[in-house]
């Protein structure tokens, strides 16, 4: 069977697992969640009741690891419905289940009796001088650290306060996410107001009377920001998009306040210090210093880039008769710069990236690079929606059941009430079961690629291709990890490292040989020609300063609100909406316009696990640039390098320290040379950046 054949039925060996079922009712979601919680609680009760002298690694640490994975694998698919189901009752049941699980998680994390059993087991291990495997030692270390970070060394009254606040925080974040997922805002424009937007995009919009209805989903929003000729149109949709989730503003304010109170109760100076404790960077102060240093280096580049773009804006406004306000909206003029200096039309480029070509081509590249094979399952595997694709994933030279790696679902097209960005869910953790057999992982990639229009097939912007390649990196981090314990599986690494593998893989989308493989003009069927490839590669670092400053703005907002304390009752930041807009102007150099917009209400990362952690996107780029430059740059499709990457980065997941994985892969300590070269002095950047 061909390594790149994604369609023919897989022959034996048969996958050693039972496929997930996707026929749940709202009642089943509720009842299964209840049973899972009851089973988990019973196991913890049993551990807590052990005589302290009888506590061992097996009956305490191992049992807890098993219980964690069983609970996660039972309920993960159930709560996932809230992001992808078309049925209100299923989404609501999944959302309620997640709230209940979060509340139970807080209850479980605050059990002092279980923590005492853990400490007793550790004391007995030390007393008996028991030799544990490295991953077992890491399990011991992490479970004890969890207890400390959950406040279990605190007095009872304080612990109870912590538990109460954590439940309130969890519910607040869940409500924020629910609003984010179910956002249905629109804005309408006349055909004249959309002048410049590609005709095929306009044809895909709905209509209300004589106006076109534009949602704030990426496939609708970005073409207007990048192509609409009228600056008022761009300003209107940007301000409307920034204001689309004003409902979340009080929820975020509440979440930040709860975190501040929790940090104080648990004897951390700030919430950021609490969050960073188990990350690679370690302290909130280190994050602030990292971002401040980067801002110092990037701002001169961004200012020069902005001046170049404002010149283009002035020229266009004079040409089209618009008043020149000296305000700057990055998407449109960034695109205009590329079109002017590189003669590169984003709308023309996407004609070479039909979804039906790009998706299988990228899967083929991953198969070749990582030594794996996709197969359509020989038995019928259900999904939650007809658009969803399912594949089994095997080792390329599979001969036995042991060569099975896991399952992947691809949910790629937008629909109402679906998660509106691109992300990967690890639906089932992989781990080694106590009977010696493996629990195989299941991952799902959710995206919102453009759908076909009456005149064209579904086409992807090059940005979409990069995003798809990135997210598939997360999929393979989950599928190719082989750990003993589920809590260390796949992307369960330090949050400021988790993006590094996928960021590294984005580099393939700028390699000429790869661009030829994934492109095919929807009419001529020809790959992207060499002259366009050259221009596209040159565009990569155009205005890299402004792009990086935008990421820096998000990271700075995040860290500032989570380190904002004077030690007294008055906080420095009084109005988060004003702070959001002011900081955006100061850091990203992009004007807000004539009104304050509550953009923080759409900042889903800040309630979705990246609180005091958004800096990680930039921080991990240091590692991703080093990995690519050191190992893959000379031959990106080297199977030998792919094997090394699979073994040293993907396979261990979080079962060993991330720095150890990096050193094993690189053959040395990581450094920032490649990262700084890419953002501070690349020949592909625009002249102002290249000459800095």
Q: What is the pLDDT of residues 641-653, one digit of tens each?
A: 999 999 999 999 9
pLDDT score for 542: 85
* Token duo for residue 440: 């195989």
Question: What three-state secondary structure class fits 33?
Answer: helix
Residue 308: CB partners within 8 Å, gap ≥ 6?
A: 337, 686, 688
Q: What is the pLDDT of residues 451-471, one digit of tens each?
A: 888 889 999 999 999 999 999
Of 244-258, 377-391, 619-633, 678-692, minimum mean pLDDT range: 678-692
pLDDT score for 530: 96
Omega before residue 244 within 30° of 0, cis: no
Give the pLDDT band (50/70/90) at residue 11.
Answer: low
Q: Is the pLDDT of residue 2 over 80?
A: no
Determine how many CB atoms are found less than 10 A away from the CB of residue 319. 9
* Token duo for residue 630: 């050191």
Q: Is the pLDDT of residue 4 over 50?
A: no
Alpha carbon distances (Å) from 654 to 135, 346, 473, 596:
9, 39, 16, 42
Asked if 6 and 358 touch (Cβ cutoff 8 Å), the reply is no
Mean pLDDT of 199-206: 91
- Determine the distance from the C-alpha atom of residue 342 to the mean position of all C-alpha atoms in its chain, rounded to a whole number: 31
What pTM was estimated for this model as a whole? 0.82
pLDDT score for 683: 37
* Token duo for residue 350: 């996407």
Domain boundaries, the chain: 26-163, 186-231
- Main-chain dihedrals φ then ψ at residue 117, nearest 5 degrees: -65, -40
Q: What is the pLDDT of residues 265-313, one digit of tens each?
A: 999 999 999 999 999 999 999 999 999 999 998 999 999 999 988 998 8
pLDDT score for 566: 54
Q: Is the pLDDT of residue 688 over 50?
A: no
Mean pLDDT of 604-621: 92
Pick the CATH number of 26-163 from 3.30.70.890, 3.20.20.150, 3.30.565.10, 1.20.1050.40: 1.20.1050.40
Determine how many CB atoms are found less than 10 A away from the CB of residue 250. 14
Q: To the nearest whole number, what is the mean pLDDT of the chain? A: 91
Give the pLDDT band (50/70/90) at residue 569.
Answer: very low
pLDDT score for 595: 86
Give the pLDDT band (50/70/90) at residue 564.
Answer: confident
Nearest C-alpha neighbor of 153 from the set 182, 117, 116: 116
Q: Which of 175, 471, 629, 658 is catalytic?
A: 471
Q: Is the pLDDT of residue 382 over 50?
A: yes
Question: What three-state secondary structure class fits 522?
Answer: coil
Task: Give me the half-sphere count of Cα atoms (radius 13 Å) on the Cβ side of residue 26.
Answer: 12
Residue 388: CB partners within 8 Å, gap ≥ 6?
A: 409, 410, 411
pLDDT score for 296: 93
> Annotated catalytic, 308?
no
Q: What is the pLDDT of residues 391-419, one digit of tens each?
A: 999 999 999 999 999 999 999 999 999 99
pLDDT score for 687: 32
Asked if 49 and 468 touch (Cβ cutoff 8 Å), the reply is no
The three-state DSSP-derived secondary structure of 473-525 is HHHHHHHCCCCCCHHHCCCCCCCCCCCHHHHHHHHHHHCHHHHHHHCCCCCCC
Give the pLDDT band (50/70/90) at residue 480.
Answer: very high
Specify the higher pLDDT residue, 607 or 342: 607
pLDDT score for 682: 46
Give the pLDDT band (50/70/90) at residue 329.
Answer: low
Q: Is the pLDDT of residue 56 over 50?
A: yes
Which secondary-structure segment (H or E) carries 213?
strand 211-215
Output b/e per residue, 8-35; b: 16+ Cβ within 10 A.
eebeeeebebebbebebebeebbebbee
Question: What three-state secondary structure class fits 431?
Answer: strand
Give the pLDDT band (50/70/90) at residue 686.
Answer: very low
Q: Is the pLDDT of residue 375 over 60?
A: yes
pLDDT score for 676: 83
What are the beta bridge partners of residue 443?
Answer: 408, 426
Asked if 515 and 536 touch (Cβ cutoff 8 Å), the reply is yes
% of the chain with per-residue pLDDT over 90: 79
Determine how many CB atoms are found less than 10 A away from the CB of residue 258. 20
Asked if 294 and 588 touch (Cβ cutoff 8 Å), the reply is no
pLDDT score for 336: 79
Round to whole Å and give the CA distance between 595 and 271.
30
pLDDT score for 337: 82
Q: Radius of gyration of the chain from Cα atoms?
A: 26
Q: Is the pLDDT of residue 522 over 50?
A: yes
Q: Is the pLDDT of residue 9 over 50?
A: no
Q: What is the pLDDT of residues 216-273, one digit of tens each?
A: 988 899 899 989 999 999 999 999 999 999 999 999 999 999 999 999 999 999 999 9
* Token duo for residue 24: 């749940």
Question: What three-state secondary structure class fits 570?
Answer: coil
- Main-chain dihedrals φ then ψ at residue 628, nearest 5 degrees: -65, -50
Alpha carbon distances (Å) from 243 to 216, 252, 503:
11, 14, 30
Which secondary-structure segment (H or E) carries 424?
strand 423-428
Asked if 212 and 186 touch (Cβ cutoff 8 Å), the reply is no
Q: What is the pLDDT of residues 657-672, one digit of tens each?
A: 999 999 999 999 999 8
Mean pLDDT of 99-122: 95
Give the pLDDT band (50/70/90) at residue 115.
Answer: very high
Nearest C-alpha neighbor of 351 from the set 531, 526, 524, 521: 521
- Main-chain dihedrals φ then ψ at residue 558, nearest 5 degrees: -60, -50
Q: Is the pLDDT of residue 573 over 50?
A: yes
* Token duo for residue 321: 């008769």
Determine how many CB atoms are found less than 10 A away from the CB of residue 635. 10
Task: Give me the half-sphere count of Cα atoms (radius 13 Å) on the Cβ side of residue 201.
Answer: 28
pLDDT score for 266: 93
Give the pLDDT band (50/70/90) at residue 690.
Answer: very low
Give the pLDDT band (50/70/90) at residue 342.
Answer: confident
């Amino acid at each position: 069977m061909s390594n790149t054949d994604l369609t023919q039925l897989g022959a034996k060996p048969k996958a050693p697992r039972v496929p997930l079922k996707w026929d749940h009712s709202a009642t089943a979601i509720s009842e299964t969640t209840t049973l899972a919680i009851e089973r988990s609680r019973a196991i913890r009760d049993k551990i807590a009741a052990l005589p302290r002298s009888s506590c061992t690694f097996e009956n305490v640490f191992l049992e807890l690891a098993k219980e964690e994975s069983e609970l996660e694998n039972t309920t993960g698919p159930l709560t996932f419905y809230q992001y992808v189901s078309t049925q209100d009752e299923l989404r609501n049941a999944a959302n309620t289940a997640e709230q209940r699980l979060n509340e139970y998680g807080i209850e479980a994390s605050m059990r002092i009796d279980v923590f005492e059993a853990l400490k007793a087991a550790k004391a007995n291990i030390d007393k008996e001088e028991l030799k544990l495997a490295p991953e077992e030692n890491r399990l011991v270390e992490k479970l004890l650290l969890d207890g400390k970070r959950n406040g279990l060394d605190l007095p009872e009254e304080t612990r109870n306060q912590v538990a109460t606040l954590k439940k309130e925080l969890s519910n607040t974040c869940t409500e924020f996410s629910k609003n984010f997922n179910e956002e249905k805002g629109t804005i309408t424009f006349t055909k004249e107001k959309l002048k410049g937007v590609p005709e095929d995009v306009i044809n895909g919009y709905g209509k209300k009377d004589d106006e076109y209805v534009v949602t704030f989903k990426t496939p609708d929003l970005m073409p207007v920001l990048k192509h609409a000729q009228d600056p008022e149109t761009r300003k209107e949709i940007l301000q409307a998009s920034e204001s689309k989730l004003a409902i979340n503003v009080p929820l975020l304010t509440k979440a930040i306040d709860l975190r501040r109170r929790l940090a104080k109760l648990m004897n951390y100076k700030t919430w950021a210090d609490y969050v960073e404790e188990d990350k690679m960077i370690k302290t909130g102060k280190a994050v602030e210093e990292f971002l401040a240093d980067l801002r110092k280096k990037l701002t001169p580049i961004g200012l020069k880039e902005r001046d170049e773009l404002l010149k283009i804006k002035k020229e266009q406004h004079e040409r089209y008769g618009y008043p020149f306000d000296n305000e700057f909206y990055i998407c449109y003029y960034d695109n205009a710069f590329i079109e002017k200096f590189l003669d590169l039309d984003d709308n023309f480029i996407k004609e070479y990236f039909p979804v039906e070509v790009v998706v299988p081509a990228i899967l083929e590249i991953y198969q070749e690079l990582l030594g794996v094979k996709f197969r359509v399952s020989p038995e019928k595997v259900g999904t939650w929606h007809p658009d969803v694709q399912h594949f089994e994933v095997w080792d390329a030279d599979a001969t036995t059941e042991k060569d099975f790696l896991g399952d992947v679902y691809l949910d790629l097209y937008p629909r109402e009430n679906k998660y509106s960005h691109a992300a990967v869910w690890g639906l089932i953790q992989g781990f080694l079961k106590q009977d010696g057999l493996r629990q195989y992982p299941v991952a799902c990639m959710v995206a919102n690629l453009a759908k076909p229009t009456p005149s064209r097939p579904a086409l992807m912007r090059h940005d979409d291709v990069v995003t798809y390649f990135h997210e598939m990196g997360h999929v393979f981090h989950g599928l190719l990890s082989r750990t003993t314990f589920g809590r260390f599986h796949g992307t369960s690494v330090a949050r400021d490292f988790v993006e590094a593998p996928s960021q590294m893989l984005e580099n393939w989308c700028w390699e000429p040989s790869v661009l030829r493989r994934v492109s095919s003009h929807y009419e001529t069927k020809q790959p992207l020609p060499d002259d366009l490839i050259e221009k596209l590669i040159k565009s990569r670092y155009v205005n890299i300063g402004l792009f990086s400053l935008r990421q820096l703005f998000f990271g700075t907002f995040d860290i500032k609100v989570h380190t904002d304390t004077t030690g007294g009752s008055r906080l420095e930041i009084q109005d988060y909406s004003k702070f959001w807009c002011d900081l955006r102007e100061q850091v990203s150099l992009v004007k807000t316009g004539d009104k304050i917009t509550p953009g923080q209400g759409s900042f889903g990362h800040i309630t979705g696990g990246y609180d005091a952690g958004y800096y990680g996107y930039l921080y991990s780029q240091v590692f991703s640039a080093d990995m690519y430059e050191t190992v893959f740059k000379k031959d990106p499709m080297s199977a030998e390098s792919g094997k090394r990457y699979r073994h040293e980065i993907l396979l261990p997941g979080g079962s060993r320290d991330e720095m150890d994985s990096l050193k094993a892969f690189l053959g040395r300590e990581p450094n920032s040379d490649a990262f700084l070269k890419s953002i501070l002095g690349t020949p592909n950047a625009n002249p102002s950046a290249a000459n800095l």
